[in-house]
């Protein structure tokens, strides 16, 4: 399942906070087990929920550092967030192997802007709130492809950046089919 979020226009100085909000929102909606929620705030007037787990926080911080480094100060970037499920399979002679199955991919188009010249902070906040609502709506609408919650299930998160991509979503799908899933960081 591929989800495409409407384009996001953000000031480079806010990318860290914004990406943290997006990743936490997607993971909170998709984690296959009971979790302890924690309310967070972005720009004082936008709230979101994250998973209150230090291991997940560390993993998201690592991913955000990698994304921010890859973004640089380029004006347009596509970020692909892919969730995989690790499935254990019995192989020859009873050996157990793990296979990664892609559950879904989130496509985020991020454009680095200068707010003073582009739009007001109120417009920025309204846009970000709309993107969060879009993520929650997509998660609620598309959950049939997810596996049921089993205690030893594990999900793997992969994040990649395609800088200054002019590809259409169809070209991105062909590229995914040709090259396989994005590299793990």
* 42 within domain boundaries: yes
* 185 within domain boundaries: no
Which of 130-134, 157-161, 170-174 is the most confident on average? 130-134
Whole-prediction pTM value? Answer: 0.73
The count of structural domains within the chain is 1
Could you give the CA distance from residue 133 to residue 79 in angstroms, rounded to a whole number? 19
Q: Minimal CA–CA distance to 102: which of 158, 62, 160, 57?
A: 158
Question: At 117, which CATH number?
Answer: 3.30.900.10
Indicate if the pLDDT at residue 6 is higher than 60: yes
| pLDDT in the model for residue 177 | 57
Q: Minimal CA–CA distance to 43: which of 8, 76, 4, 16?
A: 16
Residue span of the structural domain in which 117 resides:
2-179
Reported as a single tens digit per residue, the pLDDT across 65-117 is 877 777 765 667 788 888 777 777 777 777 887 777 788 888 888 887 776 56
């Amino acid at each position: 399942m591929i989800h495409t979020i409407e384009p996001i226009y953000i000031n480079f100085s806010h990318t860290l906070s914004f990406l943290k909000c997006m990743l936490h929102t997607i993971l909170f909606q998709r984690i296959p087990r009971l979790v302890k929620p924690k309310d967070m705030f972005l720009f004082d007037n936008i709230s979101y929920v994250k998973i209150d787990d230090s291991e997940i926080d560390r993993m998201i911080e690592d991913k955000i550092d990698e994304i921010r480094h890859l973004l640089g100060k380029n004006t347009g970037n596509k970020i692909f967030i892919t969730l995989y499920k690790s499935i254990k399979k019995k192989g020859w002679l009873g050996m157990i192997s793990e296979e990664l199955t892609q559950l879904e991919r989130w496509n985020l188009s991020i454009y680095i802007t200068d707010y003073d010249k582009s739009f007001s902070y109120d417009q920025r906040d309204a846009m970000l709130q709309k993107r969060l609502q879009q993520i929650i709506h997509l998660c609620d609408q598309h959950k049939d492809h997810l596996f049921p919650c089993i205690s030893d299930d594990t999900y793997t998160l992969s994040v990649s950046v395609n800088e200054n991509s002019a590809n259409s979503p169809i070209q991105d799908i062909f590229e995914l089919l040709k090259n396989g899933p994005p590299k793990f960081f």
